[in-house]
Amino acid sequence: MGEEEPLISHGEHLQIDKSSTRSCDNSASSTTQPLSPQSASDAVENEAISNGHDDNHKRPGGGATVFQTSINMGKMCMGTGTLALPFAAEKGGLLFNAIGLFLIGLWNYYSANCLLRCLEYLPHIDTVVDRSSHNNLDQMEQQQSEYGTSESNGTKSKISAMPPPPEGTTTYGAVAWYASGPKGLLALELLMLMLFFGLLIAYEVAMMSFIADTPFTTGSRKIDLLIPSTLIALLSCVKDIGFLSKFSGMGLFAVMLSFVVISWQGYQENGFSGYSNAFELNQWPESLSAASSWFGVVVFGYGVVPFVFNFRDSMAVPDQVTQALQIGLFLVYVGYVVISNGVAVLFSPSHIFEGDVLQAMPNTWISLMVRLLMTFVVAVTAPLLVVPFGELVEGKLGIDSTQPSSAHMRIVVRVTFIAVCTVFSEFLGSGFVHVVSFIGCFCVAMTGFVLPPLFCIQLSNQRRSARKDGPGIDSVLICDIGVLVLGITATVISSTLTFRELIMLTELK
C-alpha cells in the first residue's frame, strides 16, 4: 500500500465466484490495487485484485516488491480489529498474549503455505480462473489432460476428470473446487457469506458503541443506528462504489489517531507506573473461555490466509510471496504486541478493558472527533462489504447485474442484508469485542486454519492415488493432518465458548 491505492480488509476483497469479477468492475481496477488498511479480516472488503497466475511473465499491475507486499499485509491487519487487542491482552494475560501472538502468526504462515502448495496440484491456474474465451477452454482442457497423466505410469488423476469451476471463481475457490468438488466451493462460499454477515454486524455494533459515547446519541440504540445504516444502504445501491476506496486510508489514520489519544490519556492518568508492576498482572488466561475470547480477537486480526493469492498476484515475482509473508507477519506481530500489551499495561492501574479500546478515551473534543471519524469511516467502507455479499447472493439467485431491469432486485437483496444485520446489531447491543471474537473463532478460523490443510491433504492424496508407485504418508502430510486436527479442535471449542458468552451478554442487556 504505501503510496499505492489501497485494497480493503477486516479481519481479505476475496473473490469467491462470478460476483467477484463484477465487483472489480464496480469498485476498482481488477489488477492494480493492493490490499487496503481496514483490518485483518476486513480485507474481505477488498475485491480488486485479479487472480490470474503467470509465473513466467509480469502481469499488468502485479509489480509489488517483497517489501511493498509485506507492508501491505501489515496495513491490512491494522484496522478496526486492533481496537479489541487490549481486550485480548486482558483476557489472555500478558505473557500468554505475547507468546500466542507469535504462534498465531506462525500458524497463519503455515496455512498460507498450504494454500500455495495446492497450486502445485491444480491445472494451469491462468485458465482455471479466466475462461472468457473458447480458446481458453480448449487450452484448459488440454492442460488438464496433460496434468492428469502421471509421469511415471500414465495414470489419470481425479482432477483431470473434473469439469472446470464456474466462471469467475477465484483461485481459492478453484482450490476448493478441485479438492472437494462443488460441495467444497459451496462450503467456502457459505463461510464467506457468514463472514460478510458477521463483519457488517460487527461494524454496526462498533458504530453504535462509538455514537453512544458522544453528545449526539439519542439514548436509543435503534435510532442511533438509523442514520449510519441508511447511509450504508444508499451507498451500497449506487452504480459505482469505486469512489469509496478513497476513504479507506482514513480508516488507518483514524485507528492510529485513536491509539495516540488513548496512549496519551493513559500516560496522563498513570504515567509509567503500570510498567513497573507489569509482572504482578495476569500473565495467563484465567479460564478456557477467556483464552477463547483472546483466540478469536487475534485470529480476526491476523486473518491473511484467505488472501494469500491476492498478495501473490500483486507481486512482480509471485514465488517470493513466502518471503513477504515472513516479513509481513513479523511486522504485524511486533505491532500487535505493542498495541495489546503496551496499552493494557499503561492503563492497568486505573482501567480494565472489557470492551473496545475507545472506551478508555477521555471526554474531550479530540476524543469526540475520533469517535465521529471512526463512525464515518466504518459507514462509508461498509458498502465495500455489502456489494460483494449482494453480488454473490444475486449470482446464486440468477439476477443478471448487467440488465437494468434487475436493478430493483439488487437493491432489495442489499437493503435486506443491511436491515437484517441492523436488527442483529441492535439485539447484540455494544458487544463489539465479543462479536469480533466469535467471527474470528468461527469464520476466520475455518477459512484460514481448517480449509487450507484440508484442501491440501485432499489434493495431495488425489495426486498420490493417480500414481501406483507414488509415496505413502510423508512428514509433510503428517504435519498437514496435525494442523487440520488442531484447527478443527480450536475452532469447535473456541466458537462454542465465545458464542455462549455472546448470548449471555445479550441476555444481560
- Using pLDDT thresholds of 50, 70 and 90, give the confidence band for residue 88: very high
User: Which pLDDT value is given to residue 158?
Assistant: 66
Please check the confidence at residue 492 and state whether its pLDDT lies above 90.
yes
Nearest to 1 by CA among 41, 34, 44: 34
Residue 169 phi/psi, 5-degree rounding, is: -65, 135
The pLDDT confidence band at residue 124, using thresholds 50, 70 and 90, is low
What Cα–Cα distance (Å) separates residue 24 from each residue in 50, 165, 247, 336, 461?
Answer: 8, 19, 17, 31, 35
CA torsion, ordered 390, 393, 395, 396, to nearest 10 deg:
180
CA 349 to CA 344: how far, in whole Å? 10
Residue 352 C-alpha cell reads as 480494565
Confidence of residue 25 (pLDDT cuts 50, 70, 90): very low
* Residue range 47-87, pLDDT digits in tens: 332 333 333 333 444 688 999 999 888 888 887 889 899 99
351-390 burial, b if ≥16 CB within 10 A, otherwise e?
Answer: bebebbbbbbbeeeeebeebbebbbbbbbbbbbbbbbbbb
- Name the packing angle between helices 475-508 and 407-428 (round to 10°): 70
Nearest to 6 by CA among 79, 66, 57, 56: 79
Instruction: Find the Cα–Cα–Cα–Cα dihedral 375, 377, 378, 381, rounded to 10°.
Output: 160
Q: How many CB atoms lie within 10 A of CB 504?
A: 11
Question: Which whole-number Å values give the CA distances from 232 to 115, 225, 379, in the listed order?
Answer: 34, 11, 6
> Which range among 23-27, 64-68, 186-190, 277-281 shows the weakest confidence by mean pLDDT?
23-27
Q: Which residue has the higher pLDDT, 240 or 217?
A: 217
In whole angstroms, how far apart are CA 42 and each of 39, 158, 215, 433, 468?
5, 35, 29, 15, 44
Report how far residue 52's alpha carbon sits from residue 319's, in angstroms, rounded to the nearest whole number: 14
The whole-number pLDDT of residue 14 equals: 35
This prediction has a pTM of 0.80
pLDDT of residue 137: 44
Q: Are 168 and 19 in contact (CB under 8 A)?
A: yes
Distance of alpha carbon 3 from alpha carbon 256, whole angstroms: 17
Question: How is 89-132 classified by DSSP, letter by letter?
Answer: HHHH-HHHHHHHHHHHHHHHHHHHHHHHHHGGGSSPHHHHH---
The secondary structure of 197-227, three-state, reads: HHHHHHHHHHHHHHHHCCCCCCCCHHHHHHH
Query: Does 406 score more than 50 pLDDT?
Result: yes
Identify residue 75 by its one-letter amino acid code: K
- Chain centroid to Cα 143, Å, comes to 32
What's the CA gap between 154 and 295, in Å, rounded? 46
pLDDT score at 468: 55
Looking up cell 436493478, which residue turns up?
A: 407
Is the pLDDT reported for residue 6 higher than 60?
no
Query: How high is the pLDDT of residue 396?
Result: 77
443-478: burial string, b at 16+ Cβ within 10 Å, e else: bbbbbbbbbbbbbbbbbbbbbbebeeeeeeeeeebe
Q: How far apart are CA 1 and CA 5, in angstroms?
A: 6
The pLDDT confidence band at residue 470, using thresholds 50, 70 and 90, is: low
Record the cell numbers describing residue 125, joined without a space: 491456474
Domains of the chain by start residue, with CATH: 18-508 (1.20.1740)
CA dihedral 283, 288, 289, 291 (to 10 degrees): 40
Which carries the bigger pLDDT value, residue 7 or residue 123? 123
